[in-house]
Structure 1
Amino acid sequence: AEKASVVLALENHWGLTRTPEGLLRIVNAIDSPWLGVLMDTGNFLEDPYDKLEQIAAQAVFVQAKTYYGGGEWYTLDLDYPRIAQILKKANYQGYISLEFEGKEDANTGVPKSLELLRQAFS
């Protein structure tokens, strides 16, 4: 990554990275400015805000999940103003991408999601 000047990001997902402790154990063990955390707002199913706070300081990219129309595997009603405050407190300056996982038609679900994120992060 360093040779190519590319920052890699390890996502909080399943397996070893399903908990903040597991994710940070890997990132901290590698201890490189070329590896950070990809914070997926929808992958901590229990106590998401506490867990997002634990990884926010090392986030280099954020995927903001929305579930208009219900999710395929699960549905979370995430408090994006609260998530925005967590990221602000961590001085996050990077991109926030939308990951729309709802069953609602994307032609309506995506614009709703973008408006939600714009309001929360403005």
Structure 2
Amino acid sequence: MKISVSMYSLASTIKKENWSIFEFIDYAADISLDGVELLDFYWSDGDRDKEIQHVNQALKEKGLIVSAYDVSNNFVKESAEDRRLETEKVLEGIETAKKLGTNIVRVFCGDLHGGLTYEDGQSWIVEGLQQCAGKAEEEGVYLAIENHGLLAGKSEQVKEIIGKVNSPYVGSTFDTGNFLLVHEDPLHAFNRLKEEIVHVHFKDFRKKEALEPLKGFKSTEGVELIGTVPGDGQVDLASIVKGLKETNYQGFLSIEYEGHEDAKESNEEAVRRLKKLLE
């Protein structure tokens, strides 16, 4: 298994220090990563193809590869035209992933809004992914559904969607922390999805303490969770890594830190801990 860090894991530093993708690549090389996870909303407003060329050159110089390219789509839109535009985002993401040399495109299903439920949105999600799966198969790129947010955040929902799309190139971005937001044991979720995993987000949360001023993420039952350095929260990460070894998972473990401490220091500590688990 290889280690990467999601650029989103440095979100606070990127905002504070006005980092571009290139500063992030320099940081990733400094902490001895194998790869980086890039996102669709971190490009500049200039010539995208030219920027991709420069990014590829910087990656080559630093000895890094792209572990995954993340698309921030939402198929749960009531308008057919809006859903078409979300499909276009994913199709464009497949093209960008190929240019970056990765065969993983992280995708979302959608967000809860306007009283819509998972049952309301499931057919739209499946339809959108099916419309993208053909191109993914042609290009040899996996669409890796992240258990993100409160809509399709449960392992049974992710597995059901993957089954309904029915493509060998649609799998799971297994986010170890996000299952806590839907009150599912991450290890239980792993055992359900272990055959579908093509990418992993290495993440952890803890419960917010009473009167603690920090803002967290609210679960489906209103419990507030705070992002932590992996190993300081509720996720049994050692057992999940052990399970990945047993299934002979050969992909990336990509750190995604969402806490309030210094992001650079927190990610460096996360890398140190993950390397020990992989020994």
Q: Report the TM-score, using the length of structure 1 for normalisation.
A: 0.86
CA contact 2:203–2:255 (8 Å) conserved in 1: yes
Write 1 or 2 for the structure with the bigger share of helix.
2
The runs of 5 or more residues in structure 1 that have no matched partner are: none
After TM superposition, the structure 1 = structure 2 runs for residues 58-73 of structure 1, keeping only pairs within 5 Å, are: 58-66=196-204, 72-73=216-217
CA deviation vs aligned residue, 1:21-70 (integer Å, no higher than 9, x gap): 111011011121111111000011132211122112110000101469x8
CA contact 1:80–1:117 (8 Å) conserved in 2: no
Q: How many residues align?
A: 121
CA deviation vs aligned residue, 1:65-88 (integer Å, no higher than 9, x gap): 1469x8842133322211101212
Distance in 2 of aligned mates of 1:110 and 1:67 = 14
- Which residue number in structure 2 is paired with residue 10 of structure 1? 145
**Which stretches of structure 1, 4 residues or more, deviate above 4 A after TM superposition?**
none
CA deviation vs aligned residue, 1:75-115 (integer Å, no higher than 9, x gap): 33322211101212322111110101121111321111111
Distance in 2 of aligned mates of 1:110 and 1:15 = 25
CA-atom RMSD in angstroms: 2.1
Distance in 1 of aligned mates of 2:215 and 2:278 = 23
Q: Which amino acid aligns with 2:142?
A: V
Change (3 A) 1:6 1:100: same
- Selected match of 2:177 from 14, 38, 42: 42
Q: Report the TM-score, using the length of structure 2 for normalisation.
A: 0.40
The runs of 5 or more residues in structure 2 that have no matched partner are: 1-135, 207-213, 218-224, 227-232
> Larger RCO: Structure 1 or Structure 2 (Cα < 8 Å, ≥ 6 residues apart)?
1
Give me the identity figure in percent: 34
CA contact 2:175–2:203 (8 Å) conserved in 1: yes
- Selected match of 1:103 from 245, 260, 267: 260
